[in-house]
A and B are shown apart, each in its own frame.
Chain A
Amino acid sequence: MAKLKISDLAKIKEQVSRRTSLRNGGAKVKITVHMGTCGIASGARTVLNAAIEELERSGRKDIIITTSGCAGLCSHEPLVTVETQGEEPIKYVYVNDPKMRQIFNRHALEGEVQTQFALARGSEQQ
Chain B
Amino acid sequence: MRRGPSWLHRGALLINRAGRNLERGFEMEELSLHLLDLVENALRAEAGLIKIGIYEEPEQDLLSLLVEDDGRGMEPGMAAAASNPFFTTRTTRRVGLGLSLLQANAQACEGDLTLESRLGEGTRVKAWFTLSHIDRQPLGGWPATITGLILTQQGVEFFYSHRVGDDEFELDTRELRRELGRDALADPAVTAMLREQVQEALAKMGSRA
Contacts and interface: CB of A to CB of B under 8 A. Distances in A.
Interface of A: 1-6, 8-10, 12-13, 15-17, 33, 35-38, 40-43, 45, 48-49, 52-53, 55-56, 64-67, 69-72, 74-75, 77, 94, 96
Interface in B21-67: 21, 24-28, 32-33, 36-37, 40, 43-44
B168 A1 contact: yes
A42 B200 CA distance: 28
Contacts, number: 126
Nearest to A96: B24
Nearest to A5: B197
B40 A41 contact: no
B45 to A, nearest CB: 11
Given A42-B24, A49-B148, A16 B190 contact: yes
Which of A17, A49, A70, A77 has the most C-beta atoms of chain B within 10 angstroms of its own C-beta? A70
Nearest to B29: A41
B139 interface: no
Interface of B: 20-21, 24-28, 32-33, 36-37, 40, 43-44, 90, 92-93, 96-98, 101, 141, 144-145, 148-149, 151-153, 167-171, 176, 179-181, 184, 186-194, 197, 200-202, 204-205
29 contacts: A1-B168, A1-B169, A1-B170, A2-B167, A3-B201, A4-B197, A9-B176, A9-B180, A10-B179, A10-B180, A17-B187, A37-B96, A37-B101, A41-B27, A41-B28, A42-B26, A45-B141, A45-B144, A49-B141, A53-B188, A56-B192, A66-B153, A67-B149, A69-B40, A70-B92, A72-B92, A75-B21, A77-B21, A96-B24
A41 B98 CA distance: 10
A4 B37 contact: no
Contacts of B190: 9, 12-13, 16
A40 B180 contact: no
Contact of B40 (A13, A67, A75): A67
Contacts of B204: 2
B97 to A, nearest CB: 5
A75 B194 CA distance: 34
Given A40-B28, A72-B93, 15 more contacts: A1-B167, A1-B168, A1-B169, A5-B197, A6-B179, A13-B187, A35-B36, A35-B40, A40-B36, A42-B26, A45-B32, A56-B188, A70-B90, A72-B92, A94-B20
